[in-house]
Chains A and B, each alone.
Chain A
């Protein structure tokens, strides 16, 4: 793979997704920096309001644009995207007006535990739980240390999709601290709605019940998808997460889990969240110090 000498960034691959999509893979490997580039480029494209652009979909290390080729020729779009790519460069100084959100999750809850035990024959290590297995292969002494790492630093939402509202989350920690786990050998046919899972380098909250191949660790009491738009956080969209959100997964016990479930049921639940301007340079330079600051914004008064 060729590399751009000046910036040290890998060369993006521009590709046609049939006649209706342009797909751009910025890099094969995931990193915070490449996701910042994907967000910077797609935000710029959205701001420009180019006629013929129908959907702009930022992804983890790539992005995709759906077009009406009768209005906008894919090559015309690609030329403009290459210009935007140069303007964005190595995302030095990239800022994102976003929000930081408290997302409760009950680790080792009884419901996902039951689900994962049903599918041990599809797992790499049928003798261990998903948490025990993931902790071991990532070099943690215990699953509690592993859980502490997942709950210890906030995450960036780097992509939404698969099914409506499912957020891919990448932890704001240095590369050497990133967790990485394989997906199940064969996917499960069942995953509970709101299950907290992990696959490759990404944490997710399953927005709906269904098939799935990610390792399962816990359950979120609050939804990420509300088709009926009952809850306040869903007034504008059936989907809560947005690319560029910063989420802090906070461990809750059964008591708090039940309280939150009750408030979801009676329609009063609202996520704790604060507006926040995310500075990419700071997240890359000293993530732990920056994370402390982010959590201060979320939980301070």
Chain B
């Protein structure tokens, strides 16, 4: 054992890059919501890419180390404390046996990531250690951590095993650390069944400053602030009678639906993979890290872009991550 959970925080789960390739059987990817922060954590402690860490949402846990370890906390501004003393984020730290990691109140962002050299060692289920709480699989016993849980560390260190110590003191360049604010702009590619929305409603969708609702979670981010309407039509065979309904189809990760016309929902890592609500567009992959760091009551605007801009943003993000990785190697 290496980590004993003294108190679990609000929602602390084991996550890695996710459970991909199983979408066709209805299995969502799960995995870290803010992939950027999660990956940088692994770079900091010298782990192989894809090693499992902890995702900590809104309110932090208290974790006791039962052996010395090399760790890093990335993501939200939720100051970590070691034995009550504030410790830096985006920096590799060493902890000793008996040290307790806790967190101060969340200031900005929504999710912190704890990376530990070696990775959190839980059983791999369908090629991932990510927790999918809805049907209780992956992660630590398929659920969020609870007081008394004991986590093992793995041997997912890069290169010279057990030599995470060489990473201690390394830090991410200040310019490369994301700044989270209470206003977020998310780029979307309009499409899917967007023909179902009236033109005025599409304008409204893109003009309104939306507010993240308290419901927003790993399944989806729900927003309020506007009202959208659907084009009138005779509902096609198989769709059901509500104008928001379509013949059930697949939902891309990041896709946006508007069930009652008033509250758009962006589907995230633990979402349903398909259903009968009209989807109107998709948040691009490069912006989902920031989406995952927006918190309840924060403001969000959606901006329509073309595919090429989305692919360029994806490339930029990959380049930034590679540069950070190089700088920490």
B307 within 8 A of A: yes
B39 within 8 A of A: no
Cross-chain contact A175 with B247 (CB below 8 angstroms): no
Cross-chain contact B241 with A61 (CB below 8 angstroms): no
Cross-chain contact B192 with A17 (CB below 8 angstroms): yes
Cross-chain contact B237 with A31 (CB below 8 angstroms): yes
Rounded to whole angstroms, the CA-CA distance of A164 and B195 in the bound complex is 29
Rounded to whole angstroms, the CA-CA distance of A73 and B253 in the bound complex is 18
Task: Please indicate the chain A residues that have their CB under 8 angstroms from the CB of B247 in the complex.
Answer: 28-30, 60-62, 200-201
Task: Please indicate the chain B residues that have their CB under 8 angstroms from the CB of A29 in the complex.
Answer: 236-239, 247
With A30-B236, A201-B238 known to touch, is A208 a contact of B134 (CB < 8 Å)?
yes
With A28-B236, A30-B247 known to touch, is A59 a contact of B242 (CB < 8 Å)?
no
A222 within 8 A of B: no
Question: Interface with A: B109-117, B152-160, B197-205, B276-284, which one?
Answer: B276-284
Cross-chain contact B252 with A18 (CB below 8 angstroms): yes
A20 within 8 A of B: yes
Chain B interface bracket (under 10, 10 to 19, 20 to 34, 35 or more): 35 or more
Cross-chain contact A165 with B25 (CB below 8 angstroms): yes
Distance in Å from the Cβ of A155 to the closest Cβ of chain B? 13
A239 within 8 A of B: yes
B169 within 8 A of A: no
Task: Please indicate the chain B residues that have their CB under 8 angstroms from the CB of A180 in the complex.
Answer: 237-238, 240
A145 within 8 A of B: no
A23 within 8 A of B: yes
Task: Please indicate the chain A residues that have their CB under 8 angstroms from the CB of B246 in the complex.
Answer: 28
Closest A residue by C-beta to B27 = A164
Question: Interface with B: A64-72, A102-110, A290-298, which one?
Answer: A64-72
B85 within 8 A of A: no
Task: Please indicate the chain A residues that have their CB under 8 angstroms from the CB of B283 in the complex.
Answer: 18
Cross-chain contact A25 with B276 (CB below 8 angstroms): no
With A29-B236, A208-B135 known to touch, is A19 a contact of B311 (CB < 8 Å)?
yes
* Chain B proximity mask over A233-244: 1 for CB below 8 Å, otherwise 0: 000011100010
Task: Please indicate the chain A residues that have their CB under 8 angstroms from the CB of B195 in the complex.
Answer: 13
Task: Please indicate the chain B residues that have their CB under 8 angstroms from the CB of A54 in the complex.
Answer: 20-21, 23
Cross-chain contact B248 with A159 (CB below 8 angstroms): yes
For window 110-165 of B, CB contacts with A under 8 Å fall at 126, 134-137
Rounded to whole angstroms, the CA-CA distance of A62 and B247 in the bound complex is 9
Count how many pairs of residues, one from A and one from B, have CB atoms less than 8 Å apart in the complex.
192
Cross-chain contact A19 with B310 (CB below 8 angstroms): yes
Task: Please indicate the chain B residues that have their CB under 8 angstroms from the CB of A74 in the complex.
Answer: 307
Cross-chain contact B250 with A200 (CB below 8 angstroms): no
With A162-B274, A180-B240, A200-B248 known to touch, is A17 a contact of B23 (CB < 8 Å)?
no
Cross-chain contact B240 with A23 (CB below 8 angstroms): no
Cross-chain contact B274 with A159 (CB below 8 angstroms): yes
* Chain B proximity mask over A145-180: 1 for CB below 8 Å, otherwise 0: 000000000000001111111101010000100101
Cross-chain contact B191 with A164 (CB below 8 angstroms): no
Cross-chain contact A16 with B307 (CB below 8 angstroms): yes
Cross-chain contact A57 with B23 (CB below 8 angstroms): yes
Cross-chain contact B137 with A227 (CB below 8 angstroms): yes
Rounded to whole angstroms, the CA-CA distance of A207 and B238 in the bound complex is 21
For window 110-146 of A, CB contacts with B under 8 Å fall at none
Cross-chain contact B26 with A15 (CB below 8 angstroms): no
For window 68-101 of A, CB contacts with B under 8 Å fall at 69-70, 73-75
A55 within 8 A of B: yes
For window 37-72 of A, CB contacts with B under 8 Å fall at 54-64, 66, 69-70
Cross-chain contact A202 with B248 (CB below 8 angstroms): yes
Rounded to whole angstroms, the CA-CA distance of A127 and B274 in the bound complex is 31
B273 within 8 A of A: yes
A195 within 8 A of B: no
Cross-chain contact A18 with B282 (CB below 8 angstroms): yes
For window 252-295 of B, CB contacts with A under 8 Å fall at 252-255, 272-276, 282-286
Cross-chain contact A163 with B272 (CB below 8 angstroms): yes
Task: Please indicate the chain A residues that have their CB under 8 angstroms from the CB of B318 in the complex.
Answer: 70
Select which of B126, B237, B240, B282 is within 8 A of A17 by beta carbon. Answer: B282
Distance in Å from the Cβ of B302 to the closest Cβ of chain A? 12
Task: Please indicate the chain B residues that have their CB under 8 angstroms from the CB of A200 in the complex.
Answer: 238-240, 245, 247-248, 276
Cross-chain contact B255 with A18 (CB below 8 angstroms): yes
Rounded to whole angstroms, the CA-CA distance of A20 and B288 in the bound complex is 12
A278 within 8 A of B: no
Cross-chain contact B276 with A175 (CB below 8 angstroms): no
A267 within 8 A of B: no
Given contacts A17-B254, A69-B314, 19 further A-B contacts (CB under 8 A): A15-B191, A18-B253, A18-B255, A19-B286, A28-B247, A29-B237, A29-B238, A30-B247, A55-B23, A64-B23, A160-B24, A160-B25, A161-B26, A164-B25, A164-B27, A166-B26, A168-B248, A181-B240, A201-B240
A-B contact pairs, 6 of them (CB 8 A): A30-B236, A162-B273, A200-B239, A201-B239, A202-B248, A243-B24
Closest 9 interchain pairs by CB?
A: A30-B238, A17-B252, A201-B238, A18-B282, A29-B236, A161-B274, A64-B250, A21-B252, A15-B191
